[in-house]
């Protein structure tokens, strides 16, 4: 029991010693913090600018498909039907952040809905 209380007193003394050192070096600590922040600001200002971009490319076939009956029977043979990927591609185009931001800007949704 006595050793536990002496350890607590010793820990409290160490904490007081640390606090005293911090209090005595308060100016140096603030000066160091200020110099680090100013150095980071100058380096950030001097660094060359870097830009990032993103592009999406949609590849479409030139013809709707080949028909065994020629151009006259293309619709009857089903060559003009859309592929299964068409609707997925169109859905991704509609729900892209670029399209949605243009719609929100055009309809002024920010002021209407907050």
Q: Average pLDDT of 47-59?
A: 86
Nearest partner of 76 among 58, 64, 90, 91, judged by Cα: 64
Nearest partner of 56 among 15, 100, 89, judged by Cα: 89
| Predicted pLDDT of residue 82 | 64
Q: In angstroms, what CA-CA distances link 75 with 60, 63, 72, 80?
A: 18, 12, 8, 6
Q: Is residue 9 part of a domain?
A: yes
Q: CB of 38 within 8 A of CB of 45? A: no
Q: What percent of the chain stands above pLDDT 90?
A: 32
| Predicted pLDDT of residue 56 | 79
Q: Is residue 69 part of a domain?
A: no
Check pLDDT > 90 for residue 69.
Answer: no
Q: Which domain holds residue 29?
A: 2-46
Q: Is residue 21 part of a domain?
A: yes
Chain centroid to Cα 103, Å, comes to 21
Helix axes 2-24, 26-46, angle to 10 degrees: 60
Name the token pair of 44: 């950030």
What's the number of domains the chain is made of?
A: 2
Q: Is residue 74 part of a domain?
A: no
Check pLDDT > 90 for residue 14.
Answer: no
Q: Is residue 63 part of a domain?
A: no
Q: Is residue 93 part of a domain?
A: yes
Q: Is residue 58 part of a domain?
A: no
Q: Is residue 37 part of a domain?
A: yes
Which residues lie below 8 Å from residue 99, measured CB to CB, with a gap of 6+? 93
- For the chain, what is the mean pLDDT? 81
Total-model pTM = 0.39
Q: CB of 72 within 8 A of CB of 62? A: no
């Amino acid at each position: 029991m006595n050793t536990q209380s002496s350890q607590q007193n010793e820990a409290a003394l160490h904490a007081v010693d640390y606090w005293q050192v911090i209090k005595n070096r308060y100016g140096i600590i603030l000066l160091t913090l200020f110099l680090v922040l100013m150095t980071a600001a100058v380096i950030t200002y001097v660094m060359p600018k870097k830009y990032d971009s993103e592009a999406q490319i949609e590849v479409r076939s030139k013809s709707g498909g080949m028909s065994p009956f020629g151009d006259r029977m293309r619709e009857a043979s089903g060559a003009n039907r859309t592929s299964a990927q068409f609707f997925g591609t169109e859905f991704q185009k509609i729900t892209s952040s670029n399209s949605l931001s243009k719609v929100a800007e055009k309809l002024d949704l920010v002021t209407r809905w907050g």
